[in-house]
Amino acid sequence: MSRFSGIIPPVVTPLVKIDQLDVDAVDRIVEHLIDGGVNGLFVLGTTGEGPSLTYQIRYEMVERACEAAAGRVPVLVGVTDTSLVESIHLAEHAARSGASAIVAAAPYYFATNQTGVLNWFRQLATASPLPLMLYNMPGCVEIHLDLETVAKLSEHPNIVGVKDSSGDLDYFRLLCQKFADDDDFAVFMGPEELIPEAVAAGADGGVCGGGNLLPHVYVNLFNAAKNGNAGEISRLRTVVDAVFRHIYRDPAGQMNLIPALKLALQHCGLCSRCIAPPLPEVAADHERQVLDGLQAVLQLAESPLTTLPIT
């Protein structure tokens, strides 16, 4: 299997209502992402609200995304769960649907330790018919994957990489240094604002939530960083900063990324703003901010998208 690389956005899960997938919107979003030059799709991740979705929607999202991608780019499937057996079942379904790999964060709710997650990931990797990419997401699962734990897990023949969303650049640089000479283990950056620093450290790619709206921006930012094009990096950072300022952060500066991103996607005609509980709805003042700034963000990004009339 080829080593994963490039920009692989965490795809939003478009919903008609909290227990119904918008299958037509899945097709639109996948086409938008592939047209934007992405190197893969990551479904049922954090931006995809994976752990909040019914199992039926998770399975349907995997099927539809794989159908829509039609082998043009690899599809990676998030199987994070509190149940190891459910993670294995979803991995098996992903394989039947044509996915290329699974991604999993550590199980949550019950406290565990490095030995516990080491054993959990090994069992998942052994049982999975697809390769496994580790997902370090301490902000959501309350445990940080130690460098030693990742190193031990990398020895498993079915574990092929790690996505780090800790935001700790020193830790990320150590990951890149550790696996610099390992052709079978990829290191991906989660926080999209850190893509240039990640590439400088030796990252193989990034998983950028903003890619749902502006895929070409993050693809071009990654490529500019790979090519050492400082001017282009600076220009594209301005776009990413605008996404944070106008969309992700509310007027008080607090992040409400997923609901605000879906709101922006709705006003570009890609999907509805419907989110699964317990994520909070976008407040009225934040909604006004998004709607006031969205067209400017699209123009700054030179995006083919346009905003729909507000009714």
Determine which helix (DSSP H) or strand (DSSP E) holds 43, and give its type and residue range.
strand 41-43
Give the three-class secondary structure for 249.
strand
| CA distances from residue 68 to 25, 56, 111 in whole angstroms, order as listed | 11, 18, 38
Is 17 a known active-site residue?
Answer: no
Is 262 a known active-site residue?
Answer: no
- Rounded Cα distance between 256 and 259, Å, is 6
- Rounded Cα distance between 231 and 11, Å, is 29
Amino acid at 211: G
CB 149 within 8 A of CB 113: no
Which of 55, 108, 109, 135 is flagged as catalytic? 135
Which of 163, 218, 248, 262 is flagged as catalytic? 163
Residue 87: both structure tokens together: 């993670």
| CA distances from residue 310 to 2, 78, 247, 263, 292 in whole angstroms, order as listed | 45, 34, 17, 12, 11
The residues assigned a catalytic role are: 135, 163
